[in-house]
Amino acid sequence: MLFALSEAQIKDYIAQNSENIEQLQGIPSKIYASSPPLLYMLYALDPAKISGVNFEWNDYERPYVKKEVQEQPVVGGFFGQGKIPNVEMLLRLNPELILVNASSRNTKKMSEVFGSIKKPMLYLSAVQLEDYLDGFEILGEVTGKQERAAQLINYARESLNLTAQIEEYIRKNNLQKVKIYYAQGGDGLATECEGSWHATLIERAGAQNVHKCSEDPNAKSFGRVKISFEQLVKYDPDIILIYEKELFDKIYGDPKWQLLSAVKNKKAYYIPREPFSWFDRPPSFMRFLGLKWLISLTYPEAFKFDMVKETREFYKLFLDLELTDEQIYKILGRGAE
């Protein structure tokens, strides 16, 4: 991926990664994003252009999502478990542009859904963090929001640059990398492989994902690999990141989990998720803030982020929200640990 695209490169990308784009006259006012990562990308850039959403909003998301977006009809989308968009509803909405995951291009499912629609479609990637640098720039050009895109890209690039700083800090001080376990599921025994994009923030924060898998690409793509508690005890991670609130609420009171150093040392953390996860499932731009949050947990002696301040500034920039202190404390889980 490139980190800065020229106007010619943007035009070339659009020409090579689109269909029926010649039908698009000027800047589209109605855009349908066919997956949550692309919906979130569009939301950060220009929420007024959203035409249809992928799912019903959860109660914990609603306080942070613009009312006019919440009122958009649920069209569905491509996001696992065989889910596909409702074509009839999509035709009624009549968006001027459809955003599609680049990985879905030329797939049978995508062809079956969109093959007969003949609408302008643009393929974008929004999985790896670097995807957002080009993604925001390309989408900014298409939507006429180039200045807005540049602001988001600057933040994203600053966040990504932290990884090199951490690696240099570890090398200079001859440190062992912090060991992290990513706990999913109500029992906490589903996790992600080292190298999986689902857990990319662990490695980018200069830490080590304790769970290493075979080279099976499905394990790294779909994730939620099951392990035994005995295996987790052997790993004995320094930090546990928890996806489900159900597990976080019981982990410190469960004698079994007290066998782990991370729990004994009060270093099991619930991953912030309002309005979208800071870490994973689905991937989004929130991970640029999530990276700072995780770094503040892994190497606090060297990287002292004021996470209240960071959260306030990020939500203002990406989500156009003025958070109260109470909202920030709730998001960060202060007082819940």
Structure tokens at 138: 């390309």
Condensed to tens digits (0 to 9), the pLDDT of residues 202-259 reads: 999 999 999 998 766 555 566 899 999 999 999 999 999 999 999 999 999 999 999 9
Top pLDDT among 167 and 82 is at 167
Which residue has tokens 């800065």?
A: 4
- Helix, strand or coil for residue 121? strand
Rounded Cα–Cα distance for residues 182 and 211 (Å): 9
**Residues forming beta bridges with residue 100, ordered by sequence position:** 123
Condensed to tens digits (0 to 9), the pLDDT of residues 21-72 reads: 999 999 999 999 999 999 999 999 999 999 999 999 999 999 999 999 999 9
Condensed to tens digits (0 to 9), the pLDDT of residues 162-200 reads: 999 999 999 999 999 999 999 999 999 999 999 999 999
Give the pLDDT band of residue 1 (cuts 50, 70, 90): very low
pLDDT of 79 strictly over 90: no
Mean pLDDT of all residues in 107-136: 89
Please state the length of the chain: 337
**What contacts 131, CB < 8 A, 6 or more positions away?**
1, 124, 125
Distances (CA, A) of 20 to 15, 88, 116, 119, 223: 10, 20, 12, 6, 34
Mean pLDDT of all residues in 125-141: 96
pLDDT at 104: 81
CA nearest neighbour of 254 among 224, 225, 232: 232
Residue percentage of the chain with pLDDT more than 70: 95
pLDDT at 98: 96
Rounded Cα–Cα distance for residues 264 and 253 (Å): 11
266 burial type by CB count under 10 A (0-12 exposed, 13-18 middle, 19+ buried): exposed
E-state strands within the chain: 18-19, 31-33, 97-101, 121-124, 179-183, 190-191, 208-209, 225-226, 239-242, 268-270
pTM for the model: 0.94
Rounded Cα–Cα distance for residues 235 and 201 (Å): 19
pLDDT of 13 strictly over 60: yes
Residue type, 188: G
Rounded Cα–Cα distance for residues 156 and 126 (Å): 13
Could you report how far apart the first and last alpha carbons of the chain are, in Å?
Answer: 39
What dihedral do alpha carbons 301, 307, 313, 315 form, nearest 10°? 140
pLDDT at 223: 82
Q: Are 179 and 208 in contact (CB under 8 A)?
A: yes
pLDDT at 334: 61
Give the domains, in start order, of the chain with CATH numbers.
7-160 (3.40.50.1980), 175-332 (3.40.50.1980)
Condensed to tens digits (0 to 9), the pLDDT of residues 43-55 reads: 999 999 999 999 9
**What contacts 81, CB < 8 A, 6 or more positions away?**
none
Mean pLDDT of all residues in the chain?
A: 93
pLDDT at 337: 38
DSSP 166-184: HHHHHHHTTPPPPEEEEEB
pLDDT of 3 strictly over 60: no
Rounded Cα–Cα distance for residues 123 and 142 (Å): 12
pLDDT of 126 strictly over 80: yes
CA nearest neighbour of 97 among 72, 126, 117, 83: 117
Q: How many CB atoms neighbour CB 187 within 10 A?
A: 12
Give the pLDDT band of residue 336 (cuts 50, 70, 90): very low
> What is the 8-class DSSP label of residue 198?
G
pLDDT at 210: 98
pLDDT of 260 strictly over 90: yes
pLDDT of 320 strictly over 70: yes
Which residue has tokens 């959203």?
A: 50
pLDDT at 105: 84
Structure tokens at 270: 């619930």
**What contacts 329, CB < 8 A, 6 or more positions away?**
308, 335
> What is the 8-class DSSP label of residue 53?
B
